[in-house]
């Protein structure tokens, strides 16, 4: 069975888990902290980032986007990539955007309020939280609002764009950040739909249990 090395609350590990769930592919998660000195982990991820993926035949590699591409190459069931060329390009762009700028700003609040205190003995910096909330997050939410024309970000079914953007919104959920429905009505509706997908709901609940266990 393939292994995902990392910690489930990581947005990038979450992304790969959700992709497996969507495609009904077996997997197991093996706990590995970012920056681990584990020799096999470092051989696959010289930057020390999670996740690392280990295939059935022992081949290992890093980067969540590479993992999604690998899954699509090996199993076309429930594809996360649109067939239309234009939609495909848009999905790839939104995946890249979500993995970079969107995760950067949402994870900043997520770390301050949740991950840092739970796992790294970090004291929440209230001033930094307000900076993120007031200055960094709103432009990204406004951009996402402008990109939604239907129930999904691309086409008429779930794609990698939705998984990555929705995953970043999970960061905000854990950090007790509530979207302003008046300012972002389409994005708020998307978030509500995404969070009720069974695999997403299960993922959120599992992560919440991890946080509760870390605090106790």
The pLDDT-based confidence of 109 (bands split at 50, 70, 90) is very high
Mean pLDDT of 85-109: 99
Per-residue CA distances from 118 to 32, 139, 149, 205 (Å): 16, 28, 37, 16
Mean pLDDT of 151-173: 99
Q: Is 90 exceeded by the pLDDT of residue 216?
A: no
**What is the DSSP track for 44-79?**
H-TT--S-EEE-TTS-EEE-HHHHHHHHHHH--TT-
The pLDDT-based confidence of 215 (bands split at 50, 70, 90) is confident
pLDDT in tens, 116-154: 999 999 999 999 999 999 999 999 999 999 999 999 999
pLDDT in tens, 10-65: 999 999 999 999 999 999 999 999 999 999 999 999 999 999 999 999 999 999 99
Q: What is the pTM of this model?
A: 0.97
Q: ω into residue 208 within 30 of 0, thus cis?
A: no
CB atoms within 10 A of CB 124: 14
Domain coordinates in residue numbering, the chain? 3-74, 85-215
Cβ–Cβ < 8 Å for 167, 98 = yes
Tell how strand 52-54 and strand 60-62 pair up: antiparallel
Cβ–Cβ < 8 Å for 175, 11 = no
Gap between the Cα atoms of 152 and 154, Å rounded: 5
Q: Which CATH class is domain 85-215?
A: mainly alpha
CATH 2.70.240.10 fits 3-74, yes or no: no
């Amino acid at each position: 069975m393939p292994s995902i090395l990392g910690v489930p609350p990581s947005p990038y590990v979450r992304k790969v888990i959700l992709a497996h769930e969507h495609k009904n592919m077996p997997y197991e998660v093996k706990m590995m902290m970012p920056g681990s000195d584990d020799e096999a982990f470092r051989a696959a991820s010289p930057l020390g980032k999670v996740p690392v993926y280990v295939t059935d035949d022992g081949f290992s590699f890093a980067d969540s986007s590479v993992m999604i591409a690998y899954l699509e190459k090996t199993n076309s069931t429930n594809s996360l990539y649109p067939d239309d060329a234009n939609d495909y390009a848009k999905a790839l762009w939104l995946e890249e955007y979500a993995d970079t700028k969107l995760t950067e700003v949402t994870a900043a609040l997520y770390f301050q309020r949740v991950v840092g205190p739970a796992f790294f003995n970090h004291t929440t910096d209230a001033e930094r939280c307000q900076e993120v909330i007031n200055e960094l997050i709103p432009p990204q939410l406004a951009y996402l609002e402008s990109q939604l024309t239907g129930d999904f970000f691309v086409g008429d079914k779930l794609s990698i764009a939705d998984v990555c953007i929705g995953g970043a919104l999970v960061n905000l959920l854990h950090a007790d950040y509530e979207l302003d429905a008046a300012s972002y009505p389409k994005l708020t509706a998307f978030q509500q739909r995404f969070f009720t997908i069974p695999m997403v709901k299960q993922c959120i609940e599992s992560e919440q249990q991890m946080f509760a266990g870390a605090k106790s």
